[in-house]
Chain A
Amino acid sequence: MAASAVFKADLLGAIPNLRAFAVSLTHNTDRADDLVQETLVKAWDKHASFQPGTNLKAWLFTILRNEFYSQMRKRGREVQDSDGAMTARLAVHPSQHGSVDLEDFRTALNTLPEDQREAIILIGASGFSYEEAAEICGCAVGTIKSRVSRARTRLQEVLGVSGEADYGPDAIAVQVLSSV
């Protein structure tokens, strides 16, 4: 395969994760897809600056995040569509433990300030290390830790759950973690 064909395949493979991150940032599928499209175009143009063997996913997340904030600046932080469009289109999985409703969780997540939301998503869901997340966000590792911690505390308060580990090791969650 030509180099561009390999790169193309890698980009295609990264799209589901890029979309998930983009939706987490924008709360809006259409805006998220525009963001992903812009990210792919930029990544293609910058292909030469990507070093094979380094973390492509982190590289792409960085591009997407920069694009998101640059669009936000241009738009002057217009009011975000917090649930409307998304709620209808998302597949809602039933809560396995009958605990916090996923819809409530999403609403709570969307009340977090952007910097905290992106930090908790990168660390808790996208599978990045604190070091990688710091690089993606262009800040110190300690800053990421503090944002994650604040986000977690805030979510616990809003959702009324304790911080204690309330179930034993969960085989499904472990699988999910390793598949990200």
Chain B
Amino acid sequence: MTDDKNATNKRGGTGAASADVLGANTEIGRKLRQYYEGLVSEEVPDRFALLLQQLEEVESTRKPE
């Protein structure tokens, strides 16, 4: 593991550095977002809405307003 000195120093920068390290005009940055956007845009299974509804119902019977 000798990559630290080059990699971190050159591109360290500030908290906003993600813009250039993985920016819109780098191949890795673009692919990363394309990959992730594909996942985000998948249809969400109904089970989660049902689960939250159940959690809410349980809570409202426990603590009536």
Contact = CB atoms under 8 A, between A and B. Distances in A.
A124 interface: yes
A177 B28 contact: no
A106 interface: yes
B40 A20 contact: yes
Interface residues of A, number: 65
Given A125-B33, A173-B33, A153 B7 contact: yes
A24 B48 CA distance: 19
Contacts of A150: 3-4, 7
A37 interface: yes
A100 B31 contact: yes
A146 interface: yes
A90 interface: yes
B48 A40 contact: yes
B52 A8 contact: yes
6 contacts: A19-B44, A24-B39, A44-B59, A90-B38, A156-B28, A174-B24
A146 B4 contact: yes
Main secondary structure of the interface of A (DSSP, over half): helix
A62 interface: no
Interface of B: 3-4, 7-8, 11-12, 15-18, 20-42, 44-45, 47-49, 51-53, 55-56, 59-60, 65
B41 A91 contact: yes
Interface string A109-149: 10000000000110111100111000000000110011011
A168 B40 CA distance: 25
A121 B11 CA distance: 17
Contacts of A145: 8, 11-12, 17
Contacts of B65: 2
Contacts of B42: 16, 19, 90-91
A145 B21 CA distance: 10
Given A40-B51, A145-B8, A145-B12, A102 B38 contact: yes
